[in-house]
Structure 1
Amino acid sequence: MTSDQIFLFTLFGAVFALLIWGRVRYDLVAFCALVIATIGGFVSPDEAFSGFGHPAVVIIALVLILSRGLLNSGAVEMIAGMVLSATRSLPMHIGIMSVVGAALSAVINNVAALALLMSLDMEAAEKAKRSPSLSLMPLSFATILGGMITMIGTPPNIVIAQYRERALGESYSMFDFAPVGLCVALAGIIFVALIGWRLIPEHERAKRIRTSDDIENCVVEAQMREGSKTIGLRVTDLSPLAKEHDVLVLGLVRQGKRLPGFARDEEISKSDHLVVEGDPKSIEAFFGSAELSFSGEEKHKIGLTSPSLVLTETIVTENSRITDRSSYDLRLLSRHGITLLGVSRQGRRFRDRVRKLIIKPGDVLLLLGRPDRLDEVINWLGVLPLENRKHAVIQRKKATLAIGLFFGAIALSASGLLYLPITLAACVIAFVTMGI
């Protein structure tokens, strides 16, 4: 047999073996096989995704998947954390957010960039106690303008590039739009930041209606990551960071015992646990900034055959299995793969360890685990899940890897070595296999 035949038979054999094994999703197996065959030259790049009708459909879909991966990895949060501040003036905030939005639009698509940055902008508005309408519309314009810079930044550019290829035999490259797009984007951002936002009607901040989001804060225990920058600091040194994320450091657990008072002057060691109070989303962000991890998080394996971890809140009833018992009694982690991270008890604080706390009816439990396991355990415990109270745990340690993979794919396409949809597809596969 020729080398090509050996390659194809090996590829088919691997596909059949993975399908029979059943541990990897069949659609991921088929998608990987298509990308490998295309890179190997056995499938024409033009024919690889011909069933979708137009390459623009595939490119936009792949970019949206990658943008979600960048969000899950904490890459977007990391970039935003470097540039966002609630103390900046509104024109400065709009200018910085517009530049970030335009830059993201140029490389991931304007719709995806806006979707990623909207929540961050609204959080900044909430902290600055101003109406988000003053900055959301400029952000929308900035992402539209930034999308003009590259071929993948906006769907019309993709369509025009493909039409030119059919008509003239040569498509536009990634940055052929940049000379005009950069000038238009720069002029537009300057106008929006200095003048445009003043033309937007200012609305009063809407009064919040009390919902499940107003449930009292949870008390959670955190442990130190390997090499965490928090190790060696005093508890009081974390106060500015805690204030920035709207959480409160209540104390320190050392050798299984809670130290008296708030232990503010104690130096944090690798084996210590911090006791933190706040809402789950703020706690998750604080843990990321302080390089902390949830207790028991390392026991949850993330990768090709398991989804990402999720935080969810549930309320305990009188008939719940965990009523008048603790998570330690039920062995939630060892038997069911679920960690009880925190408890909210109508605003009251407690000194017991979270895993040994006796749960009472009306308590709100913060659980960590894989989505499929969480649903099973919630039913088994007989607790009630709260609506819209699930939060994905961001895999921040993979942020640099995610950024490198994404820009590597863009560089391969821009250099002409690989067809754009194929490089993006390969990047999607890398994101999935690495648990991003």
Structure 2
Amino acid sequence: MFDQIIVIFVILLSLTLFIEAKLRYDLVALIALLMITLSGIVSAEDAFVGFSHPAVITVVAVLVVSRGLINAGAMEPVTALVSSLSGGIVTKLMVLMGITAFFSSFMNNVGALALTMPIAMTVAKQNDISPSFLLMPVAYASLLGGLVTEIGTPPNLIISMYRQELLGTPFHFFDFAPVGMGLAVVGIIFVGLIGYRLIPNRKSKSDLDTLFKVDDYLSEIIIPEGSKLAGKSLIEFSQLHGLEINILSIIRNKVNIVAPHARETLEARDLLVIKIDPSELTKLIEKTDVILKGAKSRGDYSIKDYALWEIVIKDDSPLIGQTAKTINLRNAYNVNLVAISRQGQQHRERLGETIFKPGDILLLQAADQNIRNVLTRLKGLPLAERGLQINLGIFKKKRILGMGIFLVSIIMTSLGIVPVQLSFTLAAVTMVLFKIMTLKEAYESIEWPVIFMLGAMLPLGEALQSTGAADTIASLLLLTQRVLSPELLVGLLMLVTMLLTNLINNAAAAVLMAPIGISLALGLGVSIDPMLMAVAVGSSCAFMTPIGHQSNTLIMGPGGYHFGDYWKMGLPVTVILLIIGTPLILIFWPL
């Protein structure tokens, strides 16, 4: 009993830390693992066995294969059609959500969102539609699509492995499809016809034409003959008189030095293209002898292969918690930070001292040929239509090869020839060998915080079961038997999981709720399959908050959403999926 108290205490502490979000979720999971190990509930030998769990290996492989598919441009012919869609907003929504859900069924949720989010922004701009009406539905579609297959989302893999440990066989690749596909179709139809109308119109805050008012910030100044500024380095000039000056380029003797190094020395007659607030530009003119040549418009700014790019940063980006100065953004990544937008509002504080947060939109100056590497290293997604023009350097032959490797791995898994963790690892290795992606790109595509969180949480889930804590919680749920039938208990389990997954990572929710679902099934004397399916569905229904899933976080800035915007459409979507999902599960996975 004492062990149960410790496990439940660790879980409650972890949930509190997850919700507060002061510590990153992978660190919280590691703390929980250390606590149950040091208390003797989990042996030191078994403490890190979760990192070799098939579910963890499969998640790694799926992330790498997703990157290979993006590199191969496998989806580009389909996505190109979406940007030229005709018809009203309902048609565009249905197609965008359908394509996103399809991609998400076979690849990482965020990878699917990465393919369609730039298209949604382009469609919104071309058709004068608020991006807020498109981005939230597309993010929700990435979650709905994950319900369809075993690899669609980490919770499905976790649930499948729980079944294997208990019954000896996992759920097969398409076992999730009868329920998942039905829910995905219902969700898309509801959002496309009714749900999007519940989303607040944030167009005035998130439209890309007004998101970054760069025209008001780019100016040209000249260093005159005899100026005291000649001989000073750029870093000295940029900190002059406590002003915030960002030097984008130097034109010297008709040679354009783009994104110059911080140690570059100024010379007389240099023409500088700078980014500066108008009020600070006035102070610069008053306090120095520089000559203002004139405002530089954004439309004229792209210089040869250099351009301005809008990217949104993910929550595993190396920028998170850093500033442009502390991470040495200009020199380390060969990009220039021009502006920051947070939740649809341009950030007007000092750029170099602004701490980056997940979902921030950055306006970067970078070379066209370098942007792909920048996106990979910074863990960012392209936002504007320029993101659709990234030349991945992959010929049609490699596109076909990438799709072929992927389809073979799916066939091998669905026919039971090779377990999913082996088939997708084989696909990932094959893609590297055939140079669809580099080994460096493969490693960079892995979301290590998710992997560490999964590896650390799985022993906690095992402890929940081995100590009997799951049975204790299940027995409390069984007290409702007097008023609730076993069928309604399936719905109750799904509801509890849905509420939990809106507050913590969906994989963590699956790890915690699966043992409870198993104990509940054993207590009722029914099959564990409907209970596990209820947990799988519930874990992927993080529609009511921006923190429940990374897809929701990423669209918060581009859509200009507020925290409270999500539940307005997310709550009815959740209720509908609960009402329809419960009977669907009981039809295909009877008690």
Q: TM-score, normalised by structure 2?
A: 0.37
Q: Indicate the structure whose relative CO is greater, using CA pairs within 8 Å and at least 6 residues apart.
A: 2
TM-score of the superposition, structure 1-length normalised?
0.50
Say which structure is richer in helix: 2
